[in-house]
Amino acid sequence: MRVLVACEYSGRVRDAFINGGHDAMSCDLLPTDYPGPHYHGSVMDVLNYGWDLMIAHPPCTHLAVSGARHFAEKRADGRQQEAIDFFLALARAPIPRIAIENPVCIMSSVWRKPDQTIQPWQYGHGETKATCLWLKNLPHLVPTNIVSGRDARIHKMPPSADRWKLRSQTYQGIADAMADQWGGDMVKNYFLF
């Protein structure tokens, strides 16, 4: 399967699919942190390359409800509308199967509610970080390793120059579940019905 992982610099989801035998490429305005197939530029440049699946992680800076106190300013100067338009362009891409992930955000009211909300503790990480998934032709992710702990480590992360970058990384357990479930038999069986 040909997989595009949009707005991912870390390579975690890309590499999980590659390890599963797929032809996967990440794409981001940032260079990749780990060597591998990566397009350093706008995802809009590569959307029409015949992908079978896209997993997109659009920036949440102007969408997440955690920043709601800044929404009026972001609406006034157009940043929020630009973020909404980008999210919707990804959702409407000419790719048969799409997953878009974001935290709890305004897309639930601007567009539609997410199909699923997952937590890292459902995939082997003892932390909380609600992650919404908007799905097109994909089944819900099934938890793979429910663990205790459930600490809000990401929320408590102290200020730093790269805090935004660290907060945006996909947990390895979630990346592996995406590759195993959306790149494997579960998707094949999903399309039989």
What pLDDT, on a 0 to 100 scale, did the predictor assign at position 162? 63
Structure confidence by residue, pLDDT tens digits, 156-186 = 555 666 645 555 678 999 999 999 999 976 5
Question: Which class for 188: exposed (0-12), middle (13-18), buried (19 or more C-beta within 10 A)?
Answer: exposed
Percent of the chain whose pLDDT exceeds 70? 83
- Asked if 14 and 26 count as a contact pair (C-beta separation under 8 A), the reply is yes
Residue type, 160: S
7 pLDDT exceeds 90? Answer: yes
191 pLDDT exceeds 60? Answer: no
111 pLDDT exceeds 80? Answer: yes
Higher pLDDT: 69 or 127? It is 127
- Asked if 40 and 8 count as a contact pair (C-beta separation under 8 A), the reply is no
- Asked if 125 and 101 count as a contact pair (C-beta separation under 8 A), the reply is no
What pLDDT, on a 0 to 100 scale, did the predictor assign at position 70? 67
Structure confidence by residue, pLDDT tens digits, 11-36 = 999 999 999 999 999 999 999 988 99
62 pLDDT exceeds 70? Answer: yes
Tell if the pTM clears 0.75, that is, is over it.
yes
What is the pLDDT of the chain when averaged over all its residues?
88
Residue type, 74: K
Residue with tokens 């932390």: 127
What pLDDT, on a 0 to 100 scale, did the predictor assign at position 188? 59
57 pLDDT exceeds 50? Answer: yes
65 pLDDT exceeds 80? Answer: no
| Mean pLDDT value of segment 130-139 | 96
Local confidence band at 124 (pLDDT 50, 70, 90 cut-offs): very high
135 pLDDT exceeds 80? Answer: yes
Local confidence band at 126 (pLDDT 50, 70, 90 cut-offs): confident
